[in-house]
Chain A
């Protein structure tokens, strides 16, 4: 066996380096894409926002407009704005909202906790329910039962979140009076939005997870385990779960993106102060600065989650670990020599 000359730090760098690059790239690209879409589409961003805000009282005096442009970071050529605003964002300064005059970073920081509670709760509910349904389908002995169980989650994608949210409100808030219908003050208020959001999110997770589990069910190691008399529940938790988790975790980043988009609708339905509602209000006010800020924050969250997911692969699957890969190869070599 060849001795390994690489230092540990070098190996770690080679593993993490490309992922860090991707991390930076996604954030930069999200900023650029939003900037281009907001500035290249026809219409002046400042005039559009001011006319929504002021109606007929829109200022038309050139000097006044120039001053307003400077305040909102919309002065100079497009390239100037792109560089200045980008550098400011790097320092954590997301500019000033045209509609409210507040600091965009502060607005987002105030809204983020409300959204995070709902998003995390929705993720937990969605993942748990789809795992339970997959487990039942796995242990089901009759194929019709298995097939009908597998038919349930795709419904979650077809039902619009605004519709399921309203049905939940009319049943649980107005019908039974169990949970608050709107707002973000009541400690029980995140439950209904989270359940609403969990349906599409759970359905997406389910598609990947159940496919991985059913694929594992057909594989030879499961066949062997069944032949040796391992019970189905034990087989599921001991052998199949770990193998099915890897592809499922990959889409976690995708789900974060979906959650970010889904909160726009759900928070409007439930009148919660969060990132999604902030975005919708910003679009209604045609406030490009807030939209840009929200996209940047979402891109950072998305990238952090993806980075964590990438690094967690090694924990779940030793074959992906750089050190582990060497050990696996060593074991493989030894086995080849022995046979």
Chain B
């Protein structure tokens, strides 16, 4: 607690993340209007006390749409990180634990996956799977899986030579049990740190793909899609794009700040 007060940046970041999470689970607590129901008389109103982020061409309240969009944006990003960690952890565990030729082959594949820019990789996956929130999440997850595989493998290689693994082996514990009970918990920390950093990247990647039109179909309020919608009104109604975009920036900055703290940087 003392640490939070002495670091205003951390405090603000924590508040932003807590607010974003609260909006994800309890959007009705924060929203001031219905996110789908437009008021025709209130078309394209600039930000005001009644409509904090203004209204769009159908008279919908942009702030409420951003609030309801948190679920779709953050859940997709979360799913992407889960996919990336799961895929990477499995490949890394197997590669580091089995070793030898399999390790070599798997790691060369991982090298290529890391070398291909992640947005391009996500685009390939979306081209193969189709559009929607889940394909986008899988695409972004596969884009991130390479780095997770590499980090997990390096940890596993370090841990499997440790004395407690040898001791467990000497006591007659089987390999699968050693893998689950000893190797995995002891190699998890750097993976968790990387996963925390990946959350911010995933939010950006998901919103970029939704911006390009690969995410959930239009009426759904996703952050990237909201920014994309506002493009047509940029000359006359700047708030439609700029305010949802600013929300993305603030959330990503806050998430990254917290992630660096989890990673051990003070």
A interface vs B, CB < 8 Å? 26, 29-30, 33-34, 37-43, 45, 48, 155, 158-163, 166-167, 169-170, 174, 257-258, 260-262, 264-265, 268-269, 279-280, 282-284, 286-288, 291, 295, 298-299, 302
User: Taking chain B's interface residues, is the majority helix, strand, or loop, or is none over half, making it mixed?
Assistant: helix
Q: Is the CB of A160 within 8 A of B200?
A: no
Number of A-B contacts (CB under 8 A): 130
Contacts of B242 in A (CB 8 A): 163, 166-167, 170
Query: Quick one: which of B120, B214, B227, B249 contacts A261, CB cutoff 8 A?
Result: B120
B interface vs A, CB < 8 Å? 108-109, 112-113, 115-121, 123-130, 200, 204, 207-208, 211-214, 224, 227-228, 230-231, 234-235, 238, 241-242, 245-246, 248-249, 252-253, 256
16 pairs from A and B in contact (CB 8 Å cutoff): A26-B115, A29-B109, A37-B124, A48-B130, A158-B253, A161-B208, A162-B211, A166-B242, A170-B234, A174-B234, A261-B117, A269-B231, A283-B214, A286-B127, A287-B127, A299-B116
Contacts of A298 in B (CB 8 A): 117, 120
Q: Give the shortest distance, in Å, between B56 (CB) and chain A (any CB).
A: 15
Q: Is the CB of A283 within 8 A of B127?
A: yes
Q: Is the CB of B124 within 8 A of A264?
A: no
Contacts of B119 in A (CB 8 A): 261-262, 264-265
Most chain B CB inside 10 Å of its own CB: which residue of A29, A39, A42 = A29
Q: Is the CB of B123 within 8 A of A29?
A: no
A160/B127 contact (C-beta < 8 A), A166-B227, A257-B115 known = no
Determine the distance from Cα of A279 to Cα of B126 in the docked complex, in whole angstroms: 12
Contacts of B230 in A (CB 8 A): 166
Determine the distance from Cα of A262 to Cα of B212 in the docked complex, in whole angstroms: 12
Q: Is the CB of A41 within 8 A of B125?
A: yes
Q: Is the CB of A43 within 8 A of B128?
A: yes
Q: Is the CB of A160 within 8 A of B120?
A: no
